[in-house]
Structures are given as C-alpha cells and as structure tokens.
Amino acid sequence: MASILARRCGLRLYSADTRTWQHRDRALGAGNAAAAGWEVLTLQARREQPDHELIAQSLFRERGAMVVADVAQLPDSPLILAEGTVIRPHDVPPRAAAVWLTANVETVRRRLGEREGRSNRLYELLVEVIAADVSAARAPMIDATRDLAATVAAVEAFFAPQLARGPLATDVAQRQGLLREANLDIVEQVRGFYARPWAVGDPEAVVRNFICECGATTCEEFVEVSVGSAAVAPAIAAAHLVATRSPNGESGG
C-alpha cells in the first residue's frame, strides 16, 4: 500500500522494516536489556518465549521514537510517507498526519500465510496491542480488511490535504531517485541481517521483491532480483523496460 501511494503521488518512502538492524544496534548501544537478551537466543528459543517477552524483545515500544528520529534526518522535500508497525500514536510529532490500518487476527494470519507460507506469532499478538494503543489515543483508523485498492484509496483520501499542499516529486527522474533510495534501504536491511554474528549466508545472493523503479505514477509492480543486482542497477519490471532502435538497426537505451 505504501509503495503504491508513494509512486502514485511522488513521495519519499520510509519503511520501518528496513531499519530493523540499525534500530537494534541503537538499542544495544543504549544498554537495552531486552535487545541484548534477544541477540543471544537461538531461533527456536525466540519463537518459544512468553508473549510479554516476545513483544518486549521486538523493541515494539522503543522503535517508534527511533523512526521519528530517522525521519527528522531526511530532506523535507518531497513529503515523506513513513510506515511501520512500530509507529505508535504518542510517537507521532504534532506537525505530522498519521492514520492506523487495523485488521483482525484472522486477516493477519491469512495474509502472512499467503506471503510467507506461515503466520507470525508476534504480528498476531500486536494486533490487539496496537488496537489498544490507537483506541486509547483516539487516533484515526482505516479498516484494512478490505482489498488493496480500497485501502490505498482510503489512505490517499485521508492524506488529501497534505498531498494538496505538497511538496511532491513532479517528474520521472525525481520519482526514480526516490524509488532507488527505497530499494537501497532494502539492500541495507538484508546486509544488516547477515552482518549479525549469528547469521550465516551471502546477503548478495538473497532474492527479494524490490519496487519497480520505472517512475510511472501508475506502476504497482515489484521485481524479484538478488540483493547484489538491486544494489548496482535499478530494478525495473521487464514490461517497463524501454528500448529504442536507430534507423540502421543498432540498439539504444
């Protein structure tokens, strides 16, 4: 949803999921006990923790402030669309507009199963935690159990006043630059994971879905390529590659 809206409107996209390891390092540097405890657990032990420990070690309650600090360091133009589960109502600065997408556990479980083959206990637990936070703050909500197009339309309508004021990226080159930035954030997230002392593997060979960088406002495509490839060249859907041919038959770009 966020990438579609960013492409359609010419926004800088900040995804909290691409800062996981930066935020964990920040928490470790600050002496956060929950962060330190999580690092020494095995994968199986992480999954078997009691609910309250799982939430604490996810840094759910700490990372919202880190997101705000990150966004404050970004250029003011164009507008920034920041998204992520860890952004809580009390974290949002007064000059920002924010809305929360809500869904029930069944919807979350089904969508995670479709995307990753299985659900995620932390995400299921956070459904009620986030709903309680948003309800207590009387923050605006949008029902995200509807289909993607309806959800995008509802979010775009919510942010209509901000989008009307701008500033927005207005040409293809600007939009392409913003999308390159967002994809490189994904690259650094994967590299950050494999830089952990307990991680094994080659980050450059990992295949991920990257946002198509064609720059068209109507584009909703993703491109599945390796991290190494995305790091050195724009990810563009095959159908959106444009080739020209000169009269003498030579190919051009």
Task: Please tell me the distance from the alpha carbon of residue 79 to that of residue 163, in angstroms, as a whole number.
Answer: 8
* Residue 243 CB coordination number (10 Å): 7
Pairing assessment for the beta strands 80-83 and 12-15 based on DSSP bridges:
parallel
Fold of 2-170: Rossmann fold (3.40.50)
Average pLDDT (136-154) is: 95
The first and second tokens of residue 120, run together, are 């995620």
Quick one: pLDDT at residue 211? 98
Q: Given pLDDT bands bounded at 50, 70 and 90, which one contains residue 117?
A: confident
24: left (phi over 0), alpha (psi -120 to 50) or beta: alpha
DSSP 88: -
Percent of the chain with pLDDT over 70: 95
Average pLDDT (153-164) is: 97
Average pLDDT (110-136) is: 91
**Could you read off the pLDDT of 15-35 as tens digits, one per residue?**
999 999 999 999 999 999 999
CB 18 within 8 A of CB 89: no
pLDDT for residue 246 is more than 50: no
What lies within 8 Å, CB to CB, of 51 at 6+ separation is 125
Rounded-to-5 percentages of helix, strand, coil across the chain: 55, 10, 35
**Could you read off the pLDDT of 185-205 as tens digits, one per residue?**
999 999 999 999 999 999 999
Quick one: pLDDT at residue 79? 98
pLDDT for residue 243 is more than 80: no
pLDDT for residue 252 is more than 90: no
Task: Please tell me the distance from the alpha carbon of residue 57 to that of residue 33, in angstroms, as a whole number.
Answer: 9
CB 63 within 8 A of CB 23: yes
Q: 0.95 cut: is pTM over it?
A: no
DSSP 122: H
pLDDT for residue 120 is more than 60: yes
pLDDT for residue 41 is more than 50: yes
Domain boundaries, the chain: 2-170, 171-253
pLDDT for residue 44 is more than 90: no
Quick one: pLDDT at residue 244? 33
